[in-house]
A and B are shown apart, each in its own frame.
Chain A
């Protein structure tokens, strides 16, 4: 139960985040409908034209319409972001669950392995792996999962460990519940709240990672209109044609902001201790 004041603020955060993301998804879906031109269509005679006329955001060095490329780029960012999140969520949750529930040697081994992965600066690790396996969207997704799974695994492991000690788990054991069912029915559902929050906020970071790798030429390859690729193109023309940087940059900012707001709001909603609220039990205020 939340006090009146607390609830509106949380609502505001969730709604603003939700609105941004919904708009983004809509834009990504209807990209062909709202783009004035093909994202890959070159028009050298109109190269580097400033925003105006039919090209709202201007054109790049090859005359491609920036607006269309930004819009199509949202598809790439969202796809990568959500796919990586889903895979990392599954992998991290599974491993974290194993480590937390069984403890002992399995736990130590998994934690040491995750330590190794976490000890590399994420982008450096990504670069090294990509250098070996080559670029491409599938490889990119794989690499991004590799650099992110340890955080999820640790988060889930921590939750599992604290939930494991709860009286209702003991009660389930005494009620004769099979261990697997205990994990699925009693432990997992009570671990989700922080995972959902953290996951939502991670999407922003994943998109930034993808952008960085694409910028370095290791992720999405040109001429695909990933925002990272667009930024890579733009770096030679920053002074002459600032719109090349501005619009993909803005798109990224808005996207990451949207996911962070949503994650923030969800965090307050799902985690009672964080929000300002009075513990109201059975309609009574304690004390």
Chain B
């Protein structure tokens, strides 16, 4: 696979300076030099706890935040250099589903409007109404959802709306930032099944940012473990679960409350 098809993250660094009081400034090294790549049709799980820097990496890949140094390359070009039009075409190809379904949908807009917003912005030539109906069906929502407001939807339904929005412009990659953490286990499994089927059908590459190893097991192909801003382990899913190398990876695995533990 050529480099051109992938998203390549290279030596990404992000440092925040925070003012504490009048004069004191201290720096937070959120991301200390992270490199990996995401191929179309593949799920890369970026694992870590809060404070590991994984969300910051996600935001830099999405172009919502500029890195202190290093770059994110798409089609051989550095995303950091994109402005206006180029950024727009980048976003047509790289979308996102955010963690909190309650704050990722504008409560003043109807579901139909929310989902078709990217279509209108990216200059979709076809019939938006048809595409909306298509998308609702794909994510398993009935057509009457288009007229609903977010407050009329459950957490799981809101996430489906967010996924429909991400899919609207037919992206090549989707950054999923803890998409399941606020959902119940039964709803989680449905969303996982949906995401996996979309991935294989449309050859989309996912960056799955999470701390839940159960979800990683169900969705990932590659695993990248972050700890306090550094990448501490990279492995294929099978090897990772069979034999995690780094102590933090092992700590994460041990912490998963498994049912068989008691029996």
Contact = CB atoms under 8 A, between A and B. Distances in A.
A236 interface: no
Interface stretch (B96-104, B193-201, B215-223): B96-104
Most buried by B among A170, A174, A186, A281: A174
Interface stretch (B11-19, B130-138, B149-157): B149-157
A15 B14 CA distance: 54
Given A173-B64, A176-B121, A281-B155, A190 B107 contact: yes
Interface string A163-185: 00011101111111110000001
Contact of B108 (A173, A175, A189): A189
A274 interface: no
Interface in A172-213: 172-178, 185-186, 189-190
A174 B91 contact: yes
A273 interface: no
A54 interface: no
Given A172-B117, A174-B91, A167 B100 contact: yes
A220 B99 CA distance: 57
Nearest to B119: A175
A282 interface: yes
B62 interface: yes
Given A176-B88, A282-B153, A168 B104 contact: yes
A106 to B, nearest CB: 19
A119 interface: no
A168 B104 CA distance: 4
A45 interface: no
B182 to A, nearest CB: 11
A168 B106 contact: yes
A174 B90 CA distance: 9
Interface string B137-160: 000000000000001111101000
A120 to B, nearest CB: 27
Contacts, number: 63
B140 to A, nearest CB: 15
B165 A171 contact: yes
Interface residues of B, number: 31
A174 B64 contact: yes
B17 to A, nearest CB: 15
Given A167-B98, A281-B155, A282-B154, A175 B121 contact: yes
A232 B255 CA distance: 76
A167 B91 contact: no
A174 B162 CA distance: 12
A175 B117 contact: yes
B92 A176 contact: yes
Interface string A247-287: 00000000000000000000000000000000001101000
A175 B91 contact: yes
Nearest to A284: B154
Interface in A146-162: none
Interface in B209-239: none
Most buried by B among A167, A172, A176, A178: A176
A273 to B, nearest CB: 14
B69 to A, nearest CB: 23
A281 B150 CA distance: 10
Given A174-B95, A176-B92, A167 B117 contact: no
Contacts of A168: 103-106
Contact of B118 (A176, A189, A282): A176
B117 A177 contact: yes
Given A175-B121, A189-B108, 19 more contacts: A166-B104, A167-B100, A168-B103, A171-B98, A171-B104, A172-B106, A172-B117, A174-B94, A175-B91, A175-B165, A176-B121, A177-B117, A185-B109, A189-B106, A190-B107, A190-B108, A281-B151, A282-B153, A282-B157
9 contacts: A166-B104, A167-B98, A168-B103, A170-B104, A171-B162, A175-B165, A189-B106, A282-B154, A282-B157
